[in-house]
Structure 1
Amino acid sequence: MLKDILFAIERDKILSKTRLAREFKVTVPMIDDAIDQLLRMGYLVKEETGSDCVVSCGSCPMASQCGKDILTTYVLSDKGRALLAQAE
């Protein structure tokens, strides 16, 4: 399931933990655990946006969801992208 989660994040770019849980028919806490594991393994990178952003809202792809609140996102690391490239 871990590799499937990486594929989903790469595919959709922006999706919620709830949506991931629905897609994989598991609970949100299970998705949290999987994300934590992917972070520890170095396949994901955690990013937080918010009031300290250096990008203006007009040019930010997350502006419609952000509202300058801290928003946590996860993106594939180089290691994560390499893993998916091997699988193709």
Structure 2
Amino acid sequence: MLKNVLKEISSSKVFSIPLIAKNLNITEALVEETVKELSRMEYIIEDMGSPTCETKCSGCSMKSFCNIVPIKTISITDKGKKILENM
């Protein structure tokens, strides 16, 4: 299961627990637990980005389409890439 979820993360353009669950025909809860395990095993790195913006919105050219809520990103580590190569 770990390898299958890792492969889905690798091939997805956007990280989506519901989409991974649908593609693998498993529950979202199982995907969430698997992602935690992949992170614990250092196959992936989760990054929440910066929770604050150093630029004041009134002076920022991106203010019309900025989403101040940080976006979670997932990166596959070299250790994770080795697992994928052996699949």
Rounded to whole Å, the distance in 2 between the matches of 1:53 and 1:40 is 29
Give the number of the structure whose alpha-carbon radius of gyration is greater: 2
The answer to whether the 8 Å contact 2:15/2:73 transfers is: no
1:53-68 to structure 2, matched below 5 A, reads 67-68=67-68
CA RMSD, aligned part only?
Answer: 2.4
Rounded to whole Å, the distance in 2 between the matches of 1:80 and 1:29 is 21
Distance 1:67 1:24, change over 3 A: same
CA deviations on 1:10-49 (whole Å, 9 max, x unpaired) are 1113131011111111111111100011111110101112
Q: Extract unaligned runs of 5+ from structure 2.
A: 55-61
Q: Percent identity of the aligned residues?
A: 26
The answer to whether the 8 Å contact 1:48/1:71 transfers is: yes
TM-score by length of 1: 0.74
Q: Which residue of 2 aligns with 1:49?
A: 49
TM-score by length of 2: 0.75
Rounded to whole Å, the distance in 1 between the matches of 2:80 and 2:9 is 11
More helix by share: 1
More strand by share: 1
Q: Extract unaligned runs of 5+ from structure 1.
A: 59-63
- Secondary structure of residue in 2 paired with 1:71: coil
Distance 1:16 1:53, change over 3 A: farther
The answer to whether the 8 Å contact 1:20/1:31 transfers is: yes
Distance 1:68 1:33, change over 3 A: same
